[in-house]
Amino acid sequence: MRNLTAIILFCLVLLPAPLLIQSDFWITWLTLALFYAYLGQAWNLLGGYGGQFSFGHALFFGTGAYCTAILQIHFGLNAWGGFVLAAIAAGLVGAGTGWLVFRYGLRGSYFALVTLAFAEVFRILANSFEFTGAGVGLLVPLQPGFAQMQFETKAGFFWLLLALVGACLLFTYWLQNARFGARLMAVRENEDAARALGVDPFDTKLRAITASGAIAGSAGAVYVQLFLYIDPNIAYGPAMSVEALLVPIIGGLGTIFGPVLGAFALHAIAEIGRLAFGDAPGLNLVLYGILLVLMVLFLPNGLFGLGKVSFGLGSLRRLFKGGAHA
Amino acid sequence: MLELSILLPAILNGLTTGAIYALIALGLTLIYGVLHIINFAHGSLLMLALYGVFFLHSLFGIDPYLALPIAAAALFAVGYGLQRLIIGHASHGKDENILLVTLGLSVIIENLALYLWRSDTRTIDTPYSFEVVDFGVAFIPVPKVIAFFGALLVAALLWLLMARTDLGRAIRALAKERQGAKLVGINVEHIFAMSFGIGCACLGVAACLLLPSFYVSPQVGHAFVLVAFTVVVLGGMGSFVGALLGGLIIGVTESLGGLFLGESLGQLGIFLIFIIVLLFRPTGLLGQRA
């Protein structure tokens, strides 16, 4: 119940933000933070709850982005329709790769590398064909208005992403209490033990990667409407994959609010970095890399792990006691 | 029917590139075989080594081949330090954490290079850059011939080190039986870091052999890291001969793929081999059971 209240509170607090904040800069900042939170939520479903660390979530993001862009440019499909089809297409790609990868029992680091290789294959393919715009990329025509998911004000995208993140929060909340979630977490903790208890790891992981792919694909669809441009490196390059995994790892793997917390923390840090070092290329990614290393070394449970250690009353008392004895 | 006059040079070229791939993969497979970790920063460290050799040449006029001992020693030190100070403390009992940390390291190294040296592609000029050797069927540039035999020589030296020295024996003992090695008094942390250092030293050598016929840019590591993984997986994780064989196969595959499908699509073959081998024969050509 506490989590549900927190989800509702989170949405209610952010809902009036575009009306209260006048600066375009901050609305864009919040919108992007929400976007990466959404992408991170997709990764968290498979990586955080399922324990399958994907290094190639750009595979799904890019498929969704290209799907909606191509449908819109070549077939004149409405962006909302494209959004739904992008989710379906990316979900299918997720199911396809998942079927192959899990069918042959790839786990751990091998799973990570194979997802990366799949993303690279798609990047090369997107780079080589005319209808994906090859290396030049695709420009989506500007048609402002709700009907094409291109809002006239910045607030529109903000609310769209807030709705998506909110929906994902609710989905994750459901997951934590559902039978499927329990099976998924059992597979994460110990696949063989889960199998012994009658859980089908293959089926469970396949569902997780399909759902995760669909969510990441829909994030790609939103990205295309937001930036009106996509090329093979943005879509399938490693940057998006890193961002997708960094967000939940920093926030807290396998927690409801981890990706949201991670995305806001990450982008706050990136902003501070930009203020401190200027807009030099690469530097904010250096910061991301340092964060990733530090998080894994010292805070493997993410910022939420930090919260549990230092703000949980029991551990706080233990901390003080330990301190008194030392 | 394709003419042999096109096919044979492509194969020879592929073999020379493949030898370099093999050398890079040897370092990776050594690290995997002993520490059982996948070093995702391998490509970025190669890029760092290439920049090192580049600057030694452009600032101090040191020939890349003469820079070989410097590069190898420097990369050894970097590798030893990384394992001892960072990577060794990262696992918390899960392999994925190592992968994440090395991913983080590669992101740091790559983007720091981007910040410091911009994304320009740089090459060096040596008096022998454009000289060729006539093999009857094809002319191969001298640097590529040197790279080919140099890579094979280093592979042989590495094998000698592993087979004949105390250090090699300690490394192999550790790879086989961690607990037992500890019991007979092998300093585990030290030997782990030594293995990581030697694996990285291979990159220093590879950089020296590569630069005269190649280029360096901050993104260059990315091109190599998946290729190196493919070579290692194809040859069999932890297998030396496998890495050599895998490197040559991948080199030729890439060269022929580029010939038939064009530069861009030609790379596809490598990744497809990677995926297919991992799915259907994860032990690789010469690997022991997984």
Of B106, B115, B267, the CB nearest to A124: B267
Per-residue confidence (pLDDT) for residue A61, from 0 to 100:
95
Cα B88 to Cα B105: distance, rounded to the nearest angstrom: 13
| Residue A116 sits at the chain B interface (C-beta within 8 Å) | yes
**Segments making up each domain of chain B, as ranges:** 4-280
Confidence class for position A310, pLDDT limits 50, 70, 90: very low
Reduce the DSSP state of residue B38 to 3 states and report it. coil
Reduce the DSSP state of residue A9 to 3 states and report it. helix
| Residue A43 sits at the chain B interface (C-beta within 8 Å) | no
Chain A CB contacts of B115 below 8 Å: 280-283, 286
Per-residue confidence (pLDDT) for residue A90, from 0 to 100:
94
Per-residue confidence (pLDDT) for residue A308, from 0 to 100:
57
Per-residue confidence (pLDDT) for residue B73, from 0 to 100:
94
Contact A249 B100 (CB under 8 A): yes
Specify the DSSP element, H or E, that contains A229.
strand A229-230
Chain B CB contacts of A132 below 8 Å: none
Contact B272 A104 (CB under 8 A): no
CB count in 10 Å sphere of residue B5: 9
Confidence class for position A319, pLDDT limits 50, 70, 90: very low
B89: DSSP letter: G
Work out how many CB contacts closer than 8 A connect A with B. 120
Cα A247 to Cα A44: distance, rounded to the nearest angstrom: 9
CB count in 10 Å sphere of residue A271: 14
CA angle B74, B77, B83 (to 5 degrees): 140
Average pLDDT over residues A103-118: 86
Per-residue confidence (pLDDT) for residue B87, from 0 to 100:
87
pLDDT, one tens digit per residue, over A241-281 is: 988 998 998 888 888 998 999 999 988 888 888 888 777 77
Q: Cα Rg for chain A, rounded, in angstroms? A: 20
Residue B278 is which amino acid?
A: L
Specify the DSSP element, H or E, that contains B188.
helix B188-210
**Shortest alpha-carbon distance between residue A239 and chain B (Å):** 9
Who has greater pLDDT, B271 or A58? A58
| Residue B241 sits at the chain A interface (C-beta within 8 Å) | no
Instruction: Give B279: exposed, middle or buried? Use CB within 10 Å, 0-12, 13-18, 19+.
Output: middle
Cα A295 to Cα A260: distance, rounded to the nearest angstrom: 16
* Nearest residue of chain A to residue B39 (CA atoms): A109
What lies within 8 Å, CB to CB, of B166 at 6+ separation is: none
Per-residue confidence (pLDDT) for residue B2, from 0 to 100:
61
**Shortest alpha-carbon distance between residue B229 and chain A (Å):** 9
Confidence class for position A98, pLDDT limits 50, 70, 90: very high
Q: Is the ipTM of this complex over 0.85?
A: no
Residue A78 is which amino acid?
A: N
Chain A CB contacts of B95 below 8 Å: 108-109
Cα A150 to Cα A160: distance, rounded to the nearest angstrom: 10
**In whole numbers, what is the pLDDT of chain A averaged over residues?**
84
Could you tell me the two tokens for A204?
A: 């469970």
Per-residue confidence (pLDDT) for residue B288, from 0 to 100:
59
pTM of the model: 0.86
Could you tell me the two tokens for A232?
A: 């093979």
| Residue A124 sits at the chain B interface (C-beta within 8 Å) | yes
Contact A112 B96 (CB under 8 A): yes
Residues of chain B where predicted confidence (pLDDT) is lower than 50 = 1, 289-290
Cα B80 to Cα B89: distance, rounded to the nearest angstrom: 13
Cα A86 to Cα A66: distance, rounded to the nearest angstrom: 8
Per-residue confidence (pLDDT) for residue A89, from 0 to 100:
94
Chain A CB contacts of B96 below 8 Å: 53, 108-109, 112
Cα A82 to Cα A148: distance, rounded to the nearest angstrom: 10
Please tell me which of A79-93, A136-150, A225-239 the model is most confident about, judged by mean pLDDT. Answer: A79-93
- In this predicted structure, the answer to whether residue A318 has a pLDDT above a threshold of 50 is no
Cα B170 to Cα B177: distance, rounded to the nearest angstrom: 10
* Nearest residue of chain B to residue A53 (CA atoms): B96
Residue A311 is which amino acid?
A: F
* CA dihedral of residues A32, A35, A37, A39 (deg, nearest 10): -140
Strands A138-139 and A229-230: antiparallel
Q: Which CATH number fits domain B4-280: 1.10.1390, 3.40.50, 1.10.3470, 1.10.287?
A: 1.10.3470
- In this predicted structure, the answer to whether residue A75 has a pLDDT above a threshold of 80 is yes
A35 torsion bin: left (phi>0), alpha (psi -120 to 50), beta (else): alpha
Average pLDDT over residues A152-167: 87
**Shortest alpha-carbon distance between residue A121 and chain B (Å):** 6
Helix then strand then coil, in percent of chain B rounded to 5, is 75, 5, 20
